[in-house]
Amino acid sequence: MEVHVRLQLDIFNIKDIQFAGRTAIKDGVLYVDRSELQEFLGEDKRLSQVDVDLTHPGEKCRIIQVTDVVEPRAKTNGGVDFPGALGKIGTVGQGNTCVLRGTSVVISEHRRARDAPMEPSLPGHGAVIDMSGTGAALSVYGKTHNVVVVPRSANGIGLHDYRIALKIAGLKTAVYLAQAGKGLKPDEIEVYDLPPSSGTPKGLEGLPKVAYIFQFISGQFESIPGYPILYGCGAERIAPTILHPNEVLDGAIVTPYRTMGMEVFGLQNHSIIKELYRRHGKDLCFVGVVITVAHDIEQENERAATMAANLVKWTLGAEGVILTKSGGGIDEVAMALTAQRCEELGVRTFLALVHYPTMLSGGDNTTLFNVPEVDAIVSLGTPHARITLPPVERVIGKPIDLEEGPLASGEIKTTLHTVRGVISQIGSSGLIAVQS
Amino acid sequence: MQGHAKQENRKMGAEVLRIVQYLNQFFGGIGGEDKAHVGPQVKSGPVGPGRAVQEALGERGEVVATIICGDNYFAERIEDATAEVINLLRFYQPDAVIAGPAFDAGRYGIACGALCKGVKDQLGVPAVTGMFRENPAVDLFRKHVYIIETEDSARRMSEAVSQMVKIVLKLVGKEKIGKPSVEGYFSQGYLENEISDRPGAERVVSMLLAKLHGQSFKSEVSLPKYDRVELAPGIKDLRSATIALVTDGGLVPKGNPDRIEDRAATRFGVYSLEGKDALDPNDYEVNHVGYTPVFVLQDPHRLVPVDVMRDLEKEGVIKKLHEKFYSTTGAVNIVENVKKMGQAIAKELKNEGVSGVILTST
């Protein structure tokens, strides 16, 4: 009997969001009962209150202190939403998931000046999303109707606990909104059905077997104990393992507090997984996904590289493998090491990378590694390219008052790194870095 | 003489560009190595390769003068020679300067690079040169000056010259200079984004299919060429050795007095360990964007292990911990910067009798 792992996305194309007396979807408009949502989010005693705001593409609005973005999605036929993060751990990747396309939940952190910054290299307003102007044109989230949640910490709650509650509030909001689609007829459906990779599916024998090594988290940044990342638990020290691609698409992984070029939204719409699905059965045979971690301890990186390569070759039987990374330098080196191990086993490697070095390092190269066999690399752009964001009329999120630094509402001269939704470590944008 | 050609050609309505060319003693026709010590001299009009330049310029410009200088003369006093040559060029009021091409000649390349940079900075006038990719002057000056990539010999002089002239004309006309691969110059060390019609995910899968099917493909990113660093011989007798601590983890005194950059640092700091058996966390901070500094802020010894080194001193394992530690920031840094700093630090340490270094990174 053939085994199917079938995920059906029931998609609603949302053209507008408005506050109303009841949360519902009608004629392409998502209506949101703001007070019901706030009450629901306020049940988390780690938070004192949660502000909820709406903003739309084209508005002269800037969302600041952005820590993550989630696409509103909810399981509708049994199944668990963001297992382990929101309640019980259960499996995901099958059945029906309702999706509100054209919308995003943006999580904005209510930072206090003395809090450790999200990232030392970001200015006082943190990461931003602009809804119009140059920033919006380049960003995925400048083009979606956004529900912005700004949860505030309750008194006496430590920073780590707050930052966990912050992510949970965003995930909860995404689920709450998408549940409005339950029982309604979707505008379109997408089906992701990939049987187990053992043996070769009939008819696909002539096609090259391709796997994907997804480096989903990095040891580059301090981890927060108890932060729900993989099926609701921490995952910073795990050894490589195999996930079904549908698990990645359906909420098994939540991005950590600090990320570079990845949001939950990106994982839900994972471009490389979707592209491999698109070409599966026609040009290639997609044999599966290995998830791995970039470690800050050399031995653990060596272990990860060896095990990931072995899984790709000996368990998935791949001939070619795509690799991406999750952060900056350490992660690039970990990815390259993993690629080297794959090449040693005879698996051809293909990397897609974001260039974190600012300038070319004396020569024509822009990478931190030099493995001669790894000669097929796609550029995902440089986050250090400069961008000037125009002044805006409205700011959502709490600015931090610094002695110096731009007003959050004013013109901001910064780099692409600051604008969420522009750089994607997993290939959703068309950016490509060229030398000049 | 200088005003004459300009006035004549003004009849045509277009201003004829005044170009001055710099050549070394060989291409200038003065002599070979035997004349490498000769100081700068001026000849009016084009000389040697200047004729190819003139041909490439056509009616758009005139090589009004050629400055010829010995390679050794220039290499032995780069700054002064640059100033001397610029003073000579100034007289001709050039609209642009063309130096070389130097092909594979190292000293000549340095002279061309330094001169073009000087002309650009001091006269504000475009200056272009040409070199073979292995010329050491390429990496020194590619960021500052347009260097056309040439072959390693003068075999294809006119091609090299015509590419140089093309860029000169664009610079003078304030036109946008295209990508290095198109215009033929060495990339200047900038990385810019363009927007492809296909997202990265599509491009990587396409590249995979092409390569797996044995078709040709072009990688969008090329790999670095690292040079090999010869290992210094091991320390034979540790007990008589002075060991220094060096770090790229960005540990600096509070306030970062030397204003070392927190990424792509070009400076390093030198901090005294005299009389210190330990580093007081209250005296230091971490200036580095690439790692979480919490643990080092709690205890700087985790990065710069002064305490352990003092123990080793007391136990006689080493003779002495060097009385200064060196610190810079490795985050988002480039080989060129860190190489320069490494060489400078090594030189200082060697002069002060240090025989070994413990280098810590993050």
pLDDT of A49 above 90: yes
Asked if this assembly's ipTM is beyond 0.95, the reply is no
pLDDT of A224 above 60: yes
DSSP helix/strand/coil, B277? coil
Residues A158-212 have pLDDT tens digits of 999 999 999 999 999 999 999 999 999 999 999 999 988 776 777 888 999 999 9
For range A372-392, the mean pLDDT: 93
User: Which value, to the nearest 10 degrees, does the dihedral of the CA atoms of residues B216, B217, B222, B225 take?
Assistant: -10
For range B228-232, the mean pLDDT: 86
Task: Please list the residue range(s) of chain B that carry CATH number 3.40.50.2300.
Answer: 2-183
pLDDT of B3 above 60: no
Comparing C-alpha atoms, which of A98, A44, A94, A72 is closest to residue A252? A94
Q: For residue A285, what is the nearest residue in chain B, using CA coordinates?
A: B209
pLDDT of A79 above 90: no
pLDDT of A120 above 70: no
Asked if A360 lies within 8 A of B225 by C-beta distance, the reply is: no
Q: What is the CATH number of domain B2-183?
A: 3.40.50.2300
CA–CA dist A127, B13 (Å, integer)? 54
Would you give the DSSP letter of residue B341?
A: H
DSSP track, B65-130 = EEEEE-HHHHHHTHHHHHHHHHHHHHTT--SEEEEEEEET-HHHHHHHHHHHHHIIIII---EEEE
pLDDT of A328 above 80: yes
CA–CA dist B14, B267 (Å, integer)? 48
Q: Which two tokens stand for residue B210?
A: 């092409």
For range A363-380, the mean pLDDT: 84
Question: How far from A393 is each of A105, A142, A404, A409, A420, CA to CA, in Å?
Answer: 21, 15, 21, 7, 19
How near does any CA of chain A get to the CA of B39, in Å?
A: 32
pLDDT of residue A401: 64
- At residue A362 the predicted structure's pLDDT band, cuts being 50, 70 and 90, is very low
Percent of chain A with pLDDT over 70: 94
For range B224-239, the mean pLDDT: 86
pLDDT of residue A228: 96
pLDDT of residue A201: 74
Q: What is the CA radius of gyration of chain A?
A: 21
- At residue A405 the predicted structure's pLDDT band, cuts being 50, 70 and 90, is low
pLDDT of residue B289: 82
Q: What does pLDDT average to over chain A?
A: 92
Contacts of A363 in chain B (CB under 8 A): 139, 224-225, 335
Contacts of B291 (CB under 8 A, 6+ apart): A220, A296, B249, B331, B362
pLDDT of B87 above 80: yes
Q: Which amino acid is at A363?
A: G
B253 and chain A in contact, CB less than 8 A: no
CA–CA dist A86, A179 (Å, integer)? 15
Name residue, tokens 């990339």.
Answer: B187
pLDDT of A71 above 90: yes
Name residue, tokens 């009009």.
Answer: B45
Contacts of A314 (CB under 8 A, 6+ apart): none
pLDDT of residue B265: 85
Q: Which two tokens stand for residue B304?
A: 């710069």
- At residue A363 the predicted structure's pLDDT band, cuts being 50, 70 and 90, is low
- Across the interface, which of B199, B205, B222 has its CB nearest the CB of A365? B222
Residues 76-135 of B with CB under 8 A from A: none
Contacts of B89 (CB under 8 A, 6+ apart): B20, B65, B67, B97, B119, B123
For range A279-308, the mean pLDDT: 96
Q: For residue A352, what is the nearest residue in chain B, using CA coordinates?
A: B204
pLDDT of residue A118: 60
pLDDT of B13 above 70: no
Residues A418-435 have pLDDT tens digits of 999 999 999 999 999 988
Q: Which two tokens stand for residue A224?
A: 């927060």
For the four alpha carbons of B88, B92, B96 and B98, in that order, the dihedral sign comes to negative
Beta strand spans in chain B (E)? 17-24, 41-44, 61-69, 96-103, 127-132, 146-150, 191-195, 242-247, 251-253, 269-272, 284-286, 320-327, 356-360
pLDDT of B336 above 80: no
Can you give the pTM of this predicted structure?
0.80
pLDDT of residue B17: 95
DSSP track, A183-195 = TSPPSEEEEEE--
Domain ranges for chain A: 6-188, 200-379
pLDDT of residue A358: 52
pLDDT of A23 above 90: yes
- At residue A402 the predicted structure's pLDDT band, cuts being 50, 70 and 90, is low
Q: For residue B201, what is the nearest residue in chain A, using CA coordinates?
A: A427
Q: For residue A360, what is the nearest residue in chain B, using CA coordinates?
A: B189
Percent of chain B with pLDDT over 90: 78
Comparing C-alpha atoms, which of B80, B248, B52, B303 is closest to residue B159? B52
Give the phi and the psi of residue B361 in degrees, each rounded to 5. -140, 175
Q: What does pLDDT average to over chain B?
A: 91
- Across the interface, which of A359, A372, A379 has its CB nearest the CB of B334? A359
Contacts of B209 in chain A (CB under 8 A): 208, 279, 283-284
Residues B296-325 have pLDDT tens digits of 999 999 999 999 999 999 999 999 999 999
Q: How many residues does chain A have?
A: 436
For range A48-70, the mean pLDDT: 97
Instruction: Tell which wins on pLDDT, A34 or A114.
Output: A34
Cα A215–A219–A223 angle (5° rounding)?
A: 115
Query: Do the beta carbons of residue B184 and residue B149 sit within 8 Å?
Result: yes
Give the phi and the psi of residue B204 in degrees, each rounded to 5. -70, -40
Asked if B190 lies within 8 A of A436 by C-beta distance, the reply is: yes
Asked if A378 lies within 8 A of B212 by C-beta distance, the reply is: no
Would you give the DSSP letter of residue A311?
A: I
Estimate the crossing angle of helix A298-310 against helix A329-344, to 10 degrees. Answer: 40
Question: How far from B187 is each of A368, B126, B146, B178, CA to CA, in Å?
Answer: 18, 17, 9, 11
How many Cβ atoms sit within 10 Å of the Cβ of residue B24? Answer: 26
Residues A314-326 have pLDDT tens digits of 999 999 999 999 9
pLDDT of B334 above 80: no
DSSP helix/strand/coil, A387? strand
Range with lowest mean pLDDT among A156-165, A362-371, A412-421: A362-371
Asked if A376 lies within 8 A of B207 by C-beta distance, the reply is: yes
- Across the interface, which of B208, B223, B291 has its CB nearest the CB of A367? B223
For range A290-314, the mean pLDDT: 96
- At residue A21 the predicted structure's pLDDT band, cuts being 50, 70 and 90, is very high
Would you give the DSSP letter of residue A390?
A: P
For the four alpha carbons of A394, A397, A401 and A405, in that order, the dihedral sign comes to negative
Burial class (CB in 10 A: 0-12, 13-18, 19+), A250: buried
Name residue, tokens 């999706």.
Answer: A99
Q: How many CB pairs under 8 A join A and B?
A: 204
Residues 229-248 of B with CB under 8 A from A: none
Residues 44-73 of B with CB under 8 A from A: none
pLDDT of B189 above 90: no
pLDDT of A111 above 70: yes
Give the phi and the psi of residue A69 in degrees, each rounded to 5. -140, 135
Name residue, tokens 């609701």.
Answer: A232
Residues B143-184 have pLDDT tens digits of 899 999 999 999 999 999 999 999 999 999 999 998 898 899
Question: How far from A85 is each of A94, A154, A217, B173, CA to CA, in Å?
Answer: 18, 20, 16, 61
Q: Which two tokens stand for residue A42?
A: 């306020």
pLDDT of A129 above 90: yes
pLDDT of residue B1: 45
Asked if B196 lies within 8 A of A376 by C-beta distance, the reply is: no
pLDDT of residue B11: 47
Asked if B191 lies within 8 A of A348 by C-beta distance, the reply is: no
Asked if B220 lies within 8 A of A377 by C-beta distance, the reply is: yes
- At residue B5 the predicted structure's pLDDT band, cuts being 50, 70 and 90, is low
pLDDT of A115 above 90: no
pLDDT of B340 above 90: no
pLDDT of residue A202: 78
For range B231-240, the mean pLDDT: 93
For range A88-94, the mean pLDDT: 94
Half-sphere exposure (Cβ direction) of A264: Cα atoms closer than 13 Å: 33
Question: How far from A26 is each of A15, A23, A32, A179, B219, CA to CA, in Å?
Answer: 10, 10, 11, 13, 47
pLDDT of residue B10: 47
